[in-house]
Structure 1
Amino acid sequence: MSDNINATSRQDMITYLTQEYNENQATRKLIDEFDQDYERSSSIHWYTKGTFLYRLLNEALRDSDFDALFALRSFIVDLYKQILLEHEQFRNNNLTSRYNFSLNVYRGQAISREELSILLQKQGDYFSMQSFLSTSTNSEVAHVYSGAGTAHTDLNKVWILYEFKIDTHLNNTKPYARISHLSQYQDGAVFRIDSIRLDDVNQRWHALLSLCDDERFDLYGIMQQYAAEIIVDRVSPGFLLYQQGDYAKAREYFQKILNITSLEDREKAHCYRGLGAVAAEENNYDEAYKNFTEEYDIWHKLDDEVNRLEVCKNIGDILFYMGKFKEALEYLPTTFAYFKLKDYEMEYARICGMIGHIMDVNEQ
């Protein structure tokens, strides 16, 4: 982002924080300190400080709070980028060693009995965490920070200790990094629930989860293949909402971003991609086609061949679902070489299947 764009989003965040905590003098002092001292390279420091940013950001991600996500967009970008940098350094250091193939970290948390019931039913399946996660390498530290063992009156709550098993040699995962005794995951990281059992001694549930390679967990839907490749910028919170299935708020977010006069062409293109994806998920194919063609025109103007090929696949998909097979054939074959080169085997096979179906229909 340019300096002017970053300054605008930064001021939006400070204004939002000041209004949100207007009557909390202690937090207002922290906000003033944050405003004066914050730098992009200190995003993890401020997040792991356990202050207003930690609570506000995780609540916004969990609850799909559109206004908060928009206001915090610059901090989300900074935090993601710093975690990504630390993740790359962590993996590079780890890959040079013959040992330490796996890392176990822990997170203690109070969850509702309804959430526990869902987790128990999903043993052996996959699920995604929709917030940045702070974890500890010490299970007892995680247990203490969860508040477990303290008196509480909410009988609907149970204590659970998540044990995350990470194969550090896996590629294509969401970024994580060791920050002193803390590790961070990007929101949306995918885990397999290996087992959940009741720990009678500590009076808590214990869940064992394994971090998964994105390629092993195929998130179906017209946008999911490329979600991890979307530029991390002002548009990104909209894709967070989309991935959580909050399509109405995602649409509202993308539309609001499109009204920004300083928006760059690439950001506009990603907004149209998001709007197209939302419309496709809602089976509004005419609207999806309209937005994807808007995106296509921008990539064509920018002479961006990679993104142009990706949106060609999306347009071909939409035309196929609309039953416009002749028009779909104008787009789908052009993506063959790209998807084969990128090793997107499932997408490549799916495109072949659609073209085969069209050929069969035409012969009848």
Structure 2
Amino acid sequence: MSNQIEDLCYRLKQDLRQFNSNLTPISIIKPSSSTNRDELDQSFMYSQLLKEIILDIPYDDKAKQEYVDFCRIQYANNHTQIKVINEFEEKYQPSSSIWWYTQARFIYSTLNEALRNQDTEIVIKMGFFLRDLHYQIEQLYSKMKNHDRLNVFRGQGVLLTEFDKINNSRGGLLSFNNFLSTSTDEDVGYMYADSARGNPDVIGITCSIEIDSSISTAPFASIDEFSNFQGNENEILFSVHTVFRIVDMQEIEDRSWQVNLTVTSDDDPHLTNLTKYIRDEINGSTSMHQMGQLMIKMGKFIKAGKIYKTLLDQISDNDQQEIGHLYHQLGIIKQENGDLSDALAFFLKTLDIMQQHLSPNHSDLAIVYHNIGLVCRGLGEYPKALSYYEKSLEIELKSISSDDQKLATTYCNIGLLCKDMGKYSMALSYCEKACEIQQKSLPIYHPFLSTTYNNIALAHYGMGNYVEALSYYEKNT
């Protein structure tokens, strides 16, 4: 009887793993994509940035306690899980992170669901554990990296649309947006892929992953000794957001495919260019500043606001420039949310501080002037908007290291403001200046150029130059 119960528990655990496996999201980067943001898979960008920031944040015991308190609320009616949570609170050490990941449902399920859904609030709460798990995998990897070559397998189901993306991206990059469980046993991979085919909307794929330890630096580790499936699955666990290259694909049988992958190396040119571009998207003096920037880019404005308010509470009153920066970020959040009056109040606070501490022609002042201009235009205060835009433009034109695209953006925004004011001739002049800069520095089909052509067409239309307007509209199509 006890053996039957054990077998049933084992099968239930396998079913749960299959369910979680089929939910694992995949990010795809085509071979042609490198620095064109419109072509990049946004989940790839955000997962990579989130991973880098989380691994850089210094955590303390308070972080673990906050997560434990959170879990007690989530599992308040589950006495079994509360018992495990209490044990975790008492016994957890960074060196036991893999064990807890494989044994505790309140960790495994919560972490993977948060990574899958890019629930940054939960990911940040679990950041201490994510970091510990990554570093323990890395530590174990350093002991086994002498293997010349290793093949591991991963089976799961994917929707037809996702399968088509993979099939059309051979030679490109692929990543799973969580910690990736694989097996050295090919049959285990095929088993999971085959069982996924029970759903008619799903294609079963078996990823055959070739690892060359002489060039690969992606950390992975054998975790059989820690796992609930000891000895049954020969489990290899990759750290979060490991990046692979899609080599080729073969159909095995109806709705079942093998996808051949290799682990990328740090000097992979495609990945190197992509990583540099992604890192350039976020800047900040600390990990939490970078996290705030990332939340803004992801459109998670409430979370971003909480981060910047926390930083504001922690800053010394003597650090006025940092306070000015934080006010500016809070202004951007309010602006993105459409709270223009609040945004203006924050930007004016920033301006007051910066004018006291920066030279009149400092580039940071140009940014603040520009943002105040944007908000004033949104509030319908056109003369004020024009005044602030002109102050921004004056600084940009004097700057030796002026960013051409920023200058073009300023010209465009002044042009749009002039159009709103009915000054179509001035609007045309400013938009043409923007176009001249962009034509020299951007590809001919760049979306910024397309927007500028549209703005020029609007100016011509306002002046009654319908033939010219049509000409620029046609460039936009």
Output the TM-score relative to the length of structure 1: 0.60
Contact 2:157/2:196 (CA < 8 Å) preserved in 1? Answer: no
Flag the 1:237–1:29 CA change in 2: closer, same or farther, 3 A: farther
From 161, 179, 183, the equivalent of 2:223 is: 179
Q: From 382, 387, 401, give the equivalent of 1:329.
A: 401
Aligned twin of 2:77: 23
Which among 265, 274, 277 is matched to residue 219 of structure 1?
A: 274
Give CA-to-partner distance per residue, 1:179-214, whole Å, 9 cap, x none. Answer: 34332222222111112222129x632111111124
Does the aligned pair in 2 maintain the 1:64–1:246 contact within 8 Å?
no
Say if 2:62 is the partner of 1:8: yes
One-letter amino acid matched to 1:256: K
Distance 1:226 1:9 in 2: 27
Mapped to 2, the partners of 1:235 and 1:27 lie a distance apart of 35
Matches within 5 A, 1:284-323: none
- Secondary structure at the aligned position of 1:78 is classed as helix
Question: What are the Cα deviations for residues 250-296 of structure 1, in whole angstroms up to 9, with x where unaligned?
Answer: x654543444479699xx9xx98xx89x99xx9xxxxxxx9xxxxxx
- Alpha carbons of 1:72 and 1:209: their partners in 2 closer, same or farther (altered >3 Å)? same
Residue 21 of structure 1 deviates from its aligned partner by 2.6
Q: Does 1:247 align with 2:298?
A: yes
Which residue of 1 is the match for residue 128 of structure 2? Answer: 74
State the AA in 2 paired with 1:110. Answer: G
Q: 1:268-283 maps to which residues of 2 (within 5 A)? A: none
C-alpha deviation, 1:141, in angstroms:
2.5
Return the offset for 1:86.
2.1
One-letter amino acid of the structure 2 residue matched with residue 219 of structure 1: L
Q: Equivalents in 2 of 1:139, 1:263: separation in Å?
A: 52
Distance of aligned partners of 1:206 and 1:104 in 2 relative to their CA distance in 1, 3 Å threshold: same
Q: Which structure is higher in RCO with an 8 Å CA cutoff and minimum separation 6? A: 1
Map 1:27-42 → 2, pairs under 5 A: 27-42=81-96
Query: Is the partner of 1:198 in helix, strand or coil?
Result: strand
State the partner residue of 1:206: 258
Q: Is the 8 A contact 1:107 1:163 kept in 2?
A: yes
Structure 2 residue corresponding to 1:111, chosen from 158, 164, 181: 158
Counterpart of 1:6, as a letter, is D
CA distance in 2 between counterparts of 1:42 and 1:109 reads 28
State the distance in 2 between where 1:87 and 1:226 align: 30
**Mapped contact 2:149–2:213 kept (Cα < 8 A):** yes
Once residues 281 and 212 of structure 2 are traced to their aligned partners in structure 1, the CA distance between those partners, rounded to angstroms, is 23
Separation in structure 2 between the aligned mates of residue 131 and residue 72 of structure 1, nearest angstrom = 13
TM-superposed deviation, 1:42: 0.5
Residue matched to 1:45: 99
Change (3 A) 1:167 1:86: same
In 2 relative to 1, CA 210–235 (structure 1 residues): closer, same or farther, beyond 3 Å?
Answer: farther
Aligned to 1:193: 246
Return closer, same or farther for 1:87/1:263 CA change in 2, 3 Å cut-off: farther
Shifted more, 186-195 versus 23-32: the winner is 23-32
| SS of residue in 1 equivalent to 2:247 | strand
Aligned length: 278
Specify the code of the residue in structure 2 equivalent to 1:247.
M
1:62-115 CA deviation, whole Å, 9 max, x = no partner? 111123112212211211221222233333xx1xxxxx4221111111222221
Paired residues of 2:156 and 2:196 also in contact (CA < 8 A)? no
For residues 183 and 75 of structure 1, the distance between their equivalents in structure 2, rounded to whole angstroms, comes to 19
Deviations 1:112-137 (A, max 9, x none): 22211211111221122211111111
2-structure distance, mates of 1:214, 1:225:
17
Alpha-carbon distance change, 263 to 209 in structure 1, aligned in 2, over 3 angstroms: farther
- Unaligned segments of structure 1, at least 5 residues: 95-99, 283-289, 291-314, 316-321, 332-356, 358-364
Cα pair distance change 1:188/1:205, threshold 3 Å: same
Indicate the RMSD between aligned Cα atoms, in angstroms: 4.7
Counterpart CA distance in 2 for 1:164 and 1:183 is 11
Indicate the structure (1 or 2) with the bigger Cα radius of gyration. 2
Shift of 1:221: 6.3
Name the SS for the 1:215 alignment partner: coil
2:215 equivalent to 1:163: no
Distance in 2 between the 1:52 and 1:174 partners? 27
- 2: CA distance, partners of 1:208 / 1:256: 43
User: Shift of the alpha carbon at 1:162?
Assistant: 1.2
> 3-state SS of the aligned residue for 1:87?
helix
What percent of counterpart residues are identical? Answer: 26
Change (3 A) 1:220 1:30: closer
Instruction: Provide the residue aligned with 1:149 in structure 2.
Output: 195
**1:57 maps to which of 81, 88, 111:** 111
For 2:240, what is the secondary structure of its paired residue? coil
* 1:204/1:328 CA distance change after superposition, 3 Å: farther
The one of 120, 127, 136 aligned to 2:167 = 120
Deviation of 1:13 (Å):
0.9
The structural deviation recorded for 1:49 is 2.9
1:303-362: CA deviations, max 9, x gaps? Answer: xxxxxxxxxxxx9xxxxxx9948646399xxxxxxxxxxxxxxxxxxxxxxxxx8xxxxx
Question: 1:124 & 1:5 partners in 2: Cα distance?
Answer: 38
Answer 1 or 2: which has greater helix percent: 2
| Equivalent pair of 1:164/1:210 in contact (CA under 8 Å) | yes
What corresponds to 2:453 in structure 1? Answer: none
Partner amino acid, structure 2, of 1:38: Y
